[in-house]
């Protein structure tokens, strides 16, 4: 179910947010606790062009999206109801640029419990959606792009580092990281 910022104002209890990319290593909002979580029905992939944060209009980068199919390990953050408005405003400002994502409730499996968690799922009809890019296309883009939040490589490296810190294996992302690192050394 798609959610709007206004329909979330009726929250009446603490709630969870599921992060699968930069939210894992840079949430940017206050939270009560965090835990590793797994979401079924979606997978993490570089499927969103970034012409601001990790690229430019001339040289767009790629950032992660939560796309349908498979499963994804990430981090679930518990947010206090008293911080809800501040956190939701922050998340919608950060994630809802250019209609790139749909805010959705997903089922986050954490320590044998399933909790509804707010997450941002890729908008497959969005102008910046970049489905089915090959590893070569992804690695070439990530190796050269830089935006106002830094290089696209740094984004990938920070994500890999956080996954390793959390003992979350992501073989496909690791292979992509190794390929981009190799490309950057050759230049």
Which tens digit of pLDDT belongs to each residue from 70-99? 999 999 999 999 999 999 999 999 998 888
Facing residues of 20 across strands?
none
Q: How far apart are the first and last CA of the chain?
A: 45
pLDDT at residue 46 is higher than 50 = yes
Question: Given this model, what pLDDT does residue 4 score?
Answer: 62
pLDDT tens string 116-163: 999 999 999 999 999 989 999 999 999 999 999 999 999 999 999 999
Q: How far apart are CA 154 and CA 16, in angstroms?
A: 27
So what's the pLDDT on residue 103? 94
Per the residue annotation, which of 95, 137, 140, 157 is the catalytic one? 95
Residue 157 annotated among the catalytic residues of the structure: no
> With a threshold of 0.85, does the pTM exceed it?
yes
Query: What is 6-181's CATH number?
Result: 3.10.490.10
């Amino acid at each position: 179910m798609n959610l709007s910022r206004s329909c979330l104002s009726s929250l009446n209890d603490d709630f969870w947010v599921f992060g699968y990319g930069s939210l894992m290593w840079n949430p940017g909002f206050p939270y009560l606790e965090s835990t590793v979580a797994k979401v079924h029905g979606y997978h993490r992939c570089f499927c969103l062009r970034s012409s601001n944060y990790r690229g430019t209009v001339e040289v767009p980068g790629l950032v992660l999206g939560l796309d349908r199919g498979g499963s994804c390990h990430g981090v679930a953050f518990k947010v206090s109801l008293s911080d809800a408005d501040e956190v939701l405003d922050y998340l919608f400002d950060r994630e809802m640029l250019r209609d790139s994502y749909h805010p959705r409730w997903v089922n986050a499996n954490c320590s044998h419990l399933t909790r509804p968690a707010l997450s941002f799922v890729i908008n497959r009809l969005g102008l910046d959606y970049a489905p089915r890019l090959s590893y070569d296309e992804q690695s070439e883009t990530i190796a050269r792009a830089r935006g106002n939040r830094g290089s696209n490589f740094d984004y990938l490296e920070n994500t890999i580092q956080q996954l390793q810190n959390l003992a979350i294996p992501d073989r496909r992302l690791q292979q992509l990281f190794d390929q981009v690192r190799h490309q950057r050394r050759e230049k």
